[in-house]
Amino acid sequence: MNTLLTQVPPPHTVPVHPAARQLLDRVAAAPADPLRLAVVAPGGYGKSVLLAALDRRYREAGVDAVLVDDADRLGADQLEELLAGADGPIVVAHRPAAVSPGWTLLQLGPLGVEDVALLMSAVTGSPADPAAAAELHARSGGVPRLAERALLGRLEEFRPELDELDDDVLRYLIAAEAGAGRNLDLLCALLDRDPDQLPAIVEGARATGLLAPDDTLLPLAAAAVRDFGPPARRLTTVQRLVELQLANDLPVLDLARSLLGTGSSGASAAAAFAAAAGEALPSDARLATRLFEAAAEAGDRSPAVTAGWARAAALSGDLDTALRLGDGMLGAADAETRAAGAEIAATVLAHRGELARSAELYHWAGRGGADAFAATALVGTGDLDGARRLLDSPTPGVAPTLFAGAATRMARGIVDSVSGCATETLSTLLGAAAMLEPALGGTLLPDSPAALAALTALHTGELALAESVLSRALAGRIGGDLLAVRHRLLLGWVAMTAGDLATAAEHRDAVAGRTLEARDELFFATLELGLARRASDLVGLQRSWNRAYQASMRQQTDLFSLLPLGELAIAAARTGAFAKLSGQFERAHGLLARLGEPPLWTVSLVWHELHAAITLEDADAAEAHLATLTTHAHCGRHPRALATAAQGWLAVLGGTFAPDAISAAAAELHDLGLRWDAARLAGQAAIRTSDRKAMVQLLEAARQFQGTAARREPGTAEPAAGAGLAALSERELEVARLVVDGLTYKQAGSKLFISGKTVEHHMARIRGKLGAADRRELLATLRELLSRPDAP
pLDDT digits (tens, 9 = 90+) for 694-741: 888 888 888 888 764 333 333 434 444 444 677 788 888 889 889 888
> 296 pLDDT exceeds 70?
yes
Q: Report the pLDDT averaged over residues 559-568.
A: 96
Q: Which residues have C-beta within 8 Å of that of residue 569, sequence separation ≥ 6? A: 578, 581, 585, 608, 609, 611, 612
Q: Of 562, 644, 557, 653, whose CA–CA distance to 608 is shortest?
A: 562
User: What confidence score (pLDDT) does residue 773 get?
Assistant: 67
φ, ψ for residue 107, nearest 5 deg:
-100, 130
Asked whether residue 534 carries a pLDDT value surpassing 50, the answer given is yes
**227/208 Cα distance (integer angstroms):** 17
The CA distance from 93 to 9, in Å, is 15
Q: Which residues contact 158 (CB under 8 A, 6 or more apart)?
A: 149, 224, 225, 228
Task: Please enumerate in sequence order all residues whose Cβ is within 8 A of that of 84, keeping only pairs 6 or more positions apart, or say none.
Answer: none
Q: H/E element holding 177?
A: helix 167-177
- DSSP structural state of residue 568: H
Q: Contact 557/565 with Cβ under 8 angstroms?
A: yes
Task: Give the Cβ contact number of residue 697 at 10 Å.
Answer: 20
User: How do residues 224-261 score in pLDDT, each as one tens digit?
Assistant: 998 999 988 988 898 888 888 888 888 889 888 888 88
Q: What is the pLDDT of residue 751?
A: 78
Q: State CA 90 to chain mean position distance.
A: 60
Tens of pLDDT, residue by residue over 136-191, are 999 999 999 999 999 999 999 999 999 999 999 999 999 888 888 888 888 898 89
- Phi first, then psi: what are they for 68, rounded to 5°? -125, 120
Tell me the torsion sign for CA atoms 459, 465, 471, 472. Answer: negative
Supply the pLDDT for residue 686. Answer: 86
- Three-class SS of 315-371: HCCCHHHHHHHHHHHCCCCCHHHHHHHHHHHHHHHHHCCCHHHHHHHHHHHCCCCHH
Question: How do beta strands 104-107 and 3-5 pair?
Answer: unpaired
> Using 50, 70 and 90 to split pLDDT, how confident is the model at 282?
confident
**453-458, Cβ contacts within 8 angstroms, sequence gap of 24 or more:** 453/413, 453/426, 453/429, 454/487, 454/490, 454/494, 455/490, 455/560, 455/563, 456/413, 456/417, 456/425, 456/426, 456/429, 456/600, 457/426, 457/494, 458/490, 458/493, 458/494, 458/497, 458/563, 458/604
Q: Up-side HSE of residue 448: CA atoms within 13 Å toward CB?
A: 35
335 Cβ contact partners less than 8 Å away, ≥ 6 residues apart: none
3-state secondary structure of 499: coil
The pLDDT value given to residue 13:
55
pLDDT value of position 764: 79
Is the predicted pLDDT of residue 440 greater than 60, yes or no? no
**What mean pLDDT is reported for the chain?**
87
Phi, psi of 39 (to 5 degrees): -95, 115
- What residues contact 553, with CB distance under 8 A and at least 6 apart? none
Q: Which residue has the higher pLDDT, 381 or 478?
A: 381
Average confidence (pLDDT) over 280-284: 88
How many other CB atoms are there within 10 angstroms of residue 105's CB atom? 9
Task: Name the residue with higher pLDDT: 414 or 438.
Answer: 414
Q: Which of 673, 664, 722 is nearest to 697 (CA)?
A: 664
Considering only residues 361 and 761, tell me which one the structure prediction assigns the higher pLDDT: 361
Please, is 580 exposed, middle or buried when counting C-beta atoms within 10 Å of its C-beta (0-12, 13-18, 19+)? middle
What is residue 420's three-state secondary structure? coil
The residue type at 430 = L
Sorted by sequence, the CB contacts under 8 Å of residue 298 that are 6+ apart come out as: 264, 265, 266, 269, 270, 273
Round to whole Å and give the CA distance between 49 and 13: 7
Please report, rounded to a whole number, the percentage of residues in the chain having pLDDT higher than 90: 47
pTM: 0.70
**Which helix (H) or strand (E) is 93 found in, with range?**
strand 90-94
Residue 614 above 60 pLDDT?
yes
What percent of the chain has a predicted confidence (pLDDT) above 70?
93
| Band of residue 604 on the pLDDT scale cut at 50, 70, 90 | very high
Q: What span, in angstroms and rounded, lies between the C-alpha atoms of 179 and 222?
A: 10
Q: At what angle do helices 775-786 and 756-770 cross, to 10 degrees?
A: 80
Mean pLDDT within 342-369: 88
Mean pLDDT of 742-757: 80
**What is the pLDDT at residue 6?**
41
* pLDDT band of 398, cuts 50, 70, 90: low
Kindly list the distances between the CA atom of residue 67 and the CA atoms of 35, 82, 123, in Å, as whole numbers in the listed order: 11, 10, 25
